[in-house]
Amino acid sequence: MELRQLEYFVAAAEECHFTRAAKRMHVAQSGLSSAIRSLERELGASLFIRSTRQVELTPAGRALLVEARRALSATDAARAAVAAVQGLIRGNLAVGSLQCVHVVNVPQILARFHAAHPGVEIQLRQGGSRHLVDQVRAGRLDVALVARPLRPVDDVLIRPLASEPLVLACALEHPLANRTEVSLHDLDGEPFVDFQQDWGSRDLVDSVLGERRIAFEVNDVHSLLDLVTFGLGVALVPQSFSVKTDKVQFVGIAGRLPSWDTVVVTSETASAAATALLDAVAAARSGRA
């Protein structure tokens, strides 16, 4: 089994089309198809269901895709490790991040990293915590800044960044806005604004409140705060959201609630570039950068 075969296979799996995959890999379609057929013969299994319009993975193909991505990621890490010994850091670095990470300034860190390591091509993707962690596990992201998963996650390393309490966000005219503290029982019957289900904060609030009426689901912080501003619902959010607007009242929650934890997630075999980025995050966190 050759790495080039795995690269062609992953490209075809992601494009769902041999012609597009061949164009992406800068090879003739006949060469790509031949390499994949050779791989299928070696494995003794069909990897794709082929049609005239597109291709889709078989169960064997779906199983191979996870391991192929890991193998290619490990190969990239090996090349980068050798380059690092020679005093160079190069290659690709795929970073995932929540929309709002208050602990560190992500764009600033990436800019400083790029200046220090111009040989590294950086990609940034935003999304929900669960999705980003899955991308790290699949080898499609090297580093992700996310909310701490509520359940154990295999095949990744998790490093804590910061911890903060949850607070109530409500409109300035809301009956609870003048309270110094509220209990969870005070929120019974309230309509809620919340994020979609792959967001870490949604998972955390669900674990705290259980059944509730979610009137509005959004996928960005500013939309959530705007809806709260106009009295369309309340929300439980990390305390750091309070610096984003003065049009919402933020009220403390009584009792012992789980905290909102921001963490950095990497694979168990982080590349030299990923390790350098972790050092940059740690330096920014400690005020050394």
Residue 107, domain CATH: 3.40.190.10
pLDDT of residue 85: 65
Do 266 and 143 fall within a single domain? yes
Q: Give percent of the chain with pLDDT exceeding 70.
A: 97
pLDDT of residue 269: 80
Task: Provide the sign of the torsion angle of the four alpha carbons 192, 195, 198, 203, taken in this order.
Answer: negative
Residue with the larger pLDDT of the pair 289 and 239: 239
Do 117 and 140 fall within a single domain? yes
Do 210 and 140 fall within a single domain? no
Do 171 and 238 fall within a single domain? yes
Average pLDDT over residues 114-130: 90
Do 243 and 199 fall within a single domain? yes
pLDDT tens for each residue of 7-54: 999 999 999 999 999 999 999 999 999 999 999 999 999 999 988 778
Distant-in-sequence, close-in-space partners of 66: CB < 8 Å, separation ≥ 6: 138
How far apart are alpha carbons 184 and 241 in whole angstroms?
Answer: 19
Q: Which residue has tokens 């960044």?
A: 161
Is 151 part of a structural domain of the chain?
yes
Is 74 part of a structural domain of the chain?
no
Do 103 and 149 fall within a single domain? yes
Do 39 and 103 fall within a single domain? no
Do 106 and 240 fall within a single domain? no
Do 198 and 266 fall within a single domain? no
Total of domains in the chain: 3
CA 119 vs CA 90, 143, 178, 224, 273: distances in Å: 5, 18, 54, 39, 10
Q: Which domain holds residue 205?
A: 166-258
Is 150 part of a structural domain of the chain?
yes
Do 152 and 204 fall within a single domain? no
**Does residue 289 surpass a pLDDT of 80?**
no
Is 72 part of a structural domain of the chain?
no
Alpha helix stretches (DSSP H) within 44-162:
59-85, 106-116, 129-137
Is 206 part of a structural domain of the chain?
yes
Q: What is the mean pLDDT of the chain?
A: 90
For residue 212, the domain's CATH number is 3.40.190.290
Average pLDDT over residues 74-93: 73
Could you tell me which residues are beta bridge partners of residue 170?
A: 249
Is 78 part of a structural domain of the chain?
no
**Which residue among 66, 98, 114 closes a domain?**
66
Mutual angle of helices 129-137 and 200-209, in 10-degree steps: 120
Where residue 86 falls among pLDDT bands split at 50, 70, 90? low
Do 148 and 182 fall within a single domain? no
Is 81 part of a structural domain of the chain?
no
Do 254 and 136 fall within a single domain? no
Is 76 part of a structural domain of the chain?
no
